[in-house]
Amino acid sequence: MTDPWATSEIAGPVVTGADLHLEVRGPGLRAGLMDALREAVRTGRLAPGTRLPSSRSLAGDLGIARNTVADAYAELVAEGWLTAQQGSGTRVAPRAAPRRPAPPSRAPAGRRTPVGGADPASAGRPLAAPAGGPAPAPAGRRPGRVRPGPVHTLHPGTPDLGSFPRADWLKAARRALSAAPNEAFGYGDPLGRIELRTVLAEYLARARGVYAHPGRIVICSGFVHGLMLMGRVLRERRVHEVAVESYGLDVHWNLLTEAGLRTPALPLDEHGTRTDRLGREGAVLITPAHQFPIGGALPPRRRAAAVDWARGAGGLILEDDYDGEFRYDRQPVGALQGLDPERVVYLGTSSKSLTPGLRLAWMVLPEDLVPEVLAAKGAVDWASSALDQLTLAEFISSGAYDRHVRGMRLRYRRRRDQLVAALAERAPDVRVSGIAAGLHAVLELPPGTEQSVVQAAAWQGLALQGLDRFRHPSVRRGRDALVVGYGTPTDSAWAGALDALCRVLP
């Protein structure tokens, strides 16, 4: 096995930042620095055992934040390129240089010019982060394997991570921690902290029309955790099928499949998901406020059809309200749950409105489901940090959450308007839809071009996802389109990402 710790005794040469001749600039500084260091090791410019400059010194030489360097070092240690041990500094790992011929070199991720050596196969890889989805696992990373780091990402499903309200969050954390009773630091109530459930009940009723009280709210670690719990509950209830939508996330379908449930897809027409076609399924998973990824709101008669079915057939509706806070041109569509709180499981999350890094989401349950969900959750609340729950409760009750959502709504709307304007000018043949709400839009492409546009974009350092990636396996291929997450770039990266998008469109 590779043992990066075994090298502390190597007395290799020491280099300074200037010796490295790195070219690091533009967005994605850390990724760029990492690529540059990998490149230097791969080509032998940095020999095994070489001691690298301290992060402080290299940061000074490069004129970037020390933290960026320290992060890059740490990640490269994790990947096995470098080793670190107290007193001995950071060194190039002994076996970091590949024995096989080096792969084609490529530019640091910080550059924007197309490069011949980038790996186009990665462009369409299913791991590319979906909404509610994962970053690719780094477990398989080994020296010698090169993962392309895109310059710009317009994947849907992630909010602008640069907008996390750090100062306001810290203020809330300070107040929450000062006020917390001692028992808050103990093993938690599996429902979640009462403080958070109490403010959520008020917030969800006000902002989303959800019928909620704290006793029927269960805090979970993200939507996926909630869906996992529901899968277990449905299986215990001897449900065999959960209907899903024609387009959605395979992560969600797979979770239900793993729980032993079949996931037939409901048809989709120009009005949205055909909830009037629900039959003997035991439950249905839908995104009524904003279909993911198509983008429309489920019309009233289709909402009513879902509820009628649930009542008549004894079925359950799982309402995925992932971005209900973000509406632009009209009144928000209230949650379906209000129509029949005993037939609808409402699932909301802080992942789009605040940050996926919190891992905090919530379910509002029909009353008779509460004991079953708690049983599925297990007797121990191993799920959610009490400290974060208390902080989020304070963040919401102080009004900071509303302010943040209002601010982000303006910001995302501005981006959406810029996207629409740029397309009208530079790609007039591309039709945009799904723009009334949320953090993404659907760009319809000429037939047969979806895959080539996604690949061409990847070669130019722009990560895009085609609509086909979200298609249920049982559904026939539909229109060629892109699902563009305009919420994802940071403010400083947005203009460049939009420009890159326009350049790859037909």
Q: How far is the CB of 389 from a copy of itself (least distance, A)?
A: 9
Rule CB under 8 A: say whether 129 interacts with a copy of itself.
yes
Nearer to a copy of itself, 302 or 469 (CB): 469
Asked if 356 is part of the footprint of a copy of itself (rule: CB under 8 A), the reply reads yes
The first and second tokens of residue 33, run together, are: 């620095």
| 133 forms part of the interface with a copy of itself (CB under 8 A) | yes
Looking at the Cβ atoms of 313 and 375, the one nearer to a copy of itself is 375
- Report the alpha-carbon distance of residue 356 to residue 182 in Å, rounded: 28
> Which residue stretch of 110-118, 284-292, 293-301, 350-358 sits at the interface with a copy of itself (rule: CB under 8 A)?
350-358
The answer for residues whose C-beta is within 8 angstroms of residue 263's C-beta and 6 or more apart is 241, 242, 243, 244, 253, 256, 257, 285, 472
Q: Which stretch binds a copy of itself (CB under 8 A): 276-284, 308-316, 360-368, 446-454?
A: 360-368
Extract long-range pairs of 23-26: CB within 8 Å, 24+ residues apart.
23/108, 23/110, 23/111, 24/62, 24/64, 24/108, 24/110, 25/110, 25/111, 26/110, 26/111, 26/112, 26/151
Please answer whether residues 328 and 437 qualify as being in contact, where contact means their C-beta atoms are separated by less than 8 angstroms. Answer: yes
Q: For residues 90 and 455, which CB has a smaller minimum distance to a copy of itself in the complex?
A: 90
3-state secondary structure of 251: helix
Pick from 63, 87, 186, 473 the residue near a copy of itself by CB under 8 A: 186
Stretch that binds a copy of itself, among 16-24, 47-55, 70-78, 283-291 (CB under 8 A): 70-78
- Could you report how far apart the first and last alpha carbons of the chain are, in Å? 49
Contacts of 258 (CB under 8 A, 6+ apart): 231
Q: Which is nearer to a copy of itself, 390 or 432 (CB)?
A: 390
Residue 421 CB, nearest approach to a copy of itself (Å): 26
* Residue 410 binds a copy of itself, judged by CB under 8 A: no
Considering the rule CB under 8 A, would residue 87 count as an interface residue with a copy of itself? no
CB of 83 to a copy of itself, least distance (A): 8
Contacting a copy of itself within 319-348 (CB under 8 A) = 342
Instruction: Report if residue 74 touches a copy of itself, rule: CB under 8 A.
Output: yes
Cis peptide before 293 (omega within 30 of 0): yes
**Tokens 């209000």 identify what position?**
338
Among 63, 101, 116, 181, binds a copy of itself (CB under 8 A): 181
Site string for a copy of itself, 145-174 (x = CB under 8 A): -------------x--xx-x-x--xx--xx
Name the one range near a copy of itself by CB under 8 A: 9-17, 301-309, 368-376, 405-413.
368-376
DSSP letter string, 380-409: S--SS-HHHHHHHHHHHHTTHHHHHHHHHH
Q: Decide: residue 308, CB within 10 A, 0-12 exposed, 13-18 middle, 19+ buried.
A: middle
Cβ 440 to a copy of itself, closest distance in Å? 15
Distance CA 214, CA 193 (A): 10
Using CB under 8 A, which of 384, 455, 460, 465 touches a copy of itself?
384
| Residue 212: both structure tokens together | 């909620």
Half-sphere exposure of residue 93, counting CA atoms within 13 Å on the CB side?
Answer: 26
Q: Is the separation of the CB atoms in 314 and 275 below 8 Å?
A: no
Kindly state whether residue 62 participates in binding a copy of itself, applying the rule CB under 8 A.
no
User: In the complex with a copy of itself, which residue's Cβ is closer, 302 or 404?
Assistant: 404
Cα angle for residues 153, 158, 164 (degrees, 5° grid): 110
Nearest approach, Cβ of 45 to a copy of itself (angstroms)?
A: 24
The one-letter amino acid at 182: N
Please report whether residue 380 would count as binding a copy of itself according to CB under 8 A.
yes
Q: Which of residues 412-471 bind a copy of itself (CB under 8 A)?
A: none
Contact status, residue 348 vs residue 374, Cβ threshold 8 Å: no
> Which of residues 120, 185, 431, 495 is near a copy of itself by CB under 8 A?
185
x/- map, 194-233, a copy of itself, by CB under 8 A: xx-xx---x--------x-xxx-----xx-xx--x-----
Q: Which among 173, 138, 148 is positioned nearest to 38, based on CA atoms?
A: 148
Interface with a copy of itself includes 494 (CB under 8 A)?
no
Contacts of 190 (CB under 8 A, 6+ apart): 218, 374, 377, 378, 379, 380, 381
Quick count: other Cβ atoms within 10 Å of Cβ 184? Answer: 17
Shortest spacing between CB 262 and a copy of itself, in angstroms: 20
Residue with tokens 């462009």: 123
2-31 residues near a copy of itself, rule: CB under 8 A: 2, 4-5, 30
Q: Which of residues 234-273 bind a copy of itself (CB under 8 A)?
A: 251, 255
Residues 283-312 that bind a copy of itself (CB under 8 A): none
